[in-house]
Structure 1
């Protein structure tokens, strides 16, 4: 017997994605992706409970992907740091004399899934970034995003959660064919009315299968999902981290941002954007960096 909180797959989709049952009625279950930002409904007879062995097998594969993405980011971070050290040495004195600190931007991460939010916050902290996390249902994001920005004063805003495209609702090009894309679009528009400068407040928005073109047109710097594919739970973190650790003097190479993610260019895209990191001197013992 399927119950709320159970881990299941869909028979009609060849058991491709593991979901957690969010809510069950007499004939329909509402599903939330366990590792990806996908929300779906399914007939009760279409879902099948996942065995413990199968769940751990798939979880191990996901953890391997996450570890690979983290290694890629750390490699890029080292390259960025070497460049900053070279710039500091040439601009402020000899290498022996140079001692600098860095100030990454503040991040506001608003998530429609409290479990994914917790996972993302842990990764931000692992990457040494200052983040304020807030759980909000996607429908609330357009109304709550500006008060949160005014409270936190971030330089990067991440709006994510769950989404999906439904062929039954209409064609791919229609925004109404998507579960939550319209809320991401409206939230981004509200941000840009008050914060129009794309390089002073950088915005990522979207989730699995989201209407990428509409979110970008609304004013996001980065969004999902160009090919309407599923995106991994932590992909938005790597986008934000790359912006956070790129100097404000440099433009971000969009491909280098995307290649750190699990979803790749089918799942994520964006526009030319400057970094937000600033360095200063001198470094003192009271200052900590990653």
Structure 2
């Protein structure tokens, strides 16, 4: 076994595909592999004899399986329907070909550069302007304010990998999570820059993250209420609903959650206004 190998854990019936990203030793000096989920935002460790090498298909096919493809297609359809509905709500827009829409701009700070690339590809497919920066979770809080000042986004995503390290432990104790405290610190720094939760919409968290404390820190949406694994694209699906809903609409929480892969156990949040604006004209050249 070496760094970069694609593996599954035999003790978990090989339910999740991981990539080996490092090695460590336990208190008895037994070697363990540090693992990151390929399609889920979870980090874990396992003894080497519990791992089995698996063949990885195209990584985008792992991310966007039939279930996720359905969610993505649904998002695309809903986005088109939403735009038509918004135009019907404003009669002057129906016949004006010089009108164009401006979804909210996204800044995604991600602890996983491979996940980030695929998320950015999906934002492009959904027609949402987005920039992304890959930063290890432990350093995100140090850089978030400078990135906010540079990009001035409408929506901020702070994500990467996380895990509840001991299910027998106190789930309110942040020391039992790999990165929840790092996400909380980053959210707090972002809120110092922009305290208004409608001016800057924040999604934060990853697999099994401490949802309640991330929300209390100032996030609009977070994971994971049920301490379950969330799909790598769940933050994107939350963002799409907010970014493409009009600024005069409070987006229903249940509609946001219904649009995710993992549902109410994976994602929750607060009432939040949309970020979509109509604009005109497209261009006037003299």
TM-score of the aligned structures, taking structure 1 as reference length: 0.90
Could you say which residue in structure 2 is the equivalent of 1:204?
203
2-side partners of 1:97 and 1:85: how far apart?
10
Could you say which residue in structure 1 is the equivalent of 2:110?
111
Residues 207 and 230 in structure 1, CA contact (< 8 A), matched pair in contact too:
yes
Could you say which residue in structure 2 is the equivalent of 1:63?
65
2-side partners of 1:7 and 1:32: how far apart?
10
Q: 2:51 aligns with which of 43, 47, 51?
A: 47
Q: What is the correspondence of 1:1-290 to structure 2 with a 5 Å cutoff?
A: 2-25=1-24, 27-51=31-55, 59=61, 62-89=64-91, 92=92, 95-97=94-96, 99-167=98-166, 170-284=169-283
2-side partners of 1:31 and 1:157: how far apart?
26
2-side partners of 1:168 and 1:264: how far apart?
21
Residues 169 and 177 in structure 1, CA contact (< 8 A), matched pair in contact too:
no
1-side partners of 2:64 and 2:153: how far apart?
30
1-side partners of 2:236 and 2:6: how far apart?
25
Shift of 1:238: 1.1
Per-residue Cα deviation, 1:79-136 (whole angstroms, up to 9, x for no partner): 21122111221xx37x435642111222100000010011111111111111111000
1-side partners of 2:14 and 2:273: how far apart?
41
User: Taking structure 1 as reference, are residues 60 and 204 closer, same or farther at Cα in structure 2, changes over 3 Å only?
Assistant: closer
User: Taking structure 1 as reference, are residues 23 and 145 closer, same or farther at Cα in structure 2, changes over 3 Å only?
Assistant: same
Number of residue pairs matched by the alignment: 280
Deviates more, 1:213-222 or 1:124-133: 124-133
Give me the CA root mean square deviation.
2.2
Residues 38 and 62 in structure 2, CA contact (< 8 A), matched pair in contact too:
no
State the secondary structure of the residue aligned to 1:16. Answer: coil
Structure 1: gaps (5+ residues)? none
State the secondary structure of the residue aligned to 2:81. Answer: helix
Shift of 1:190: 1.2
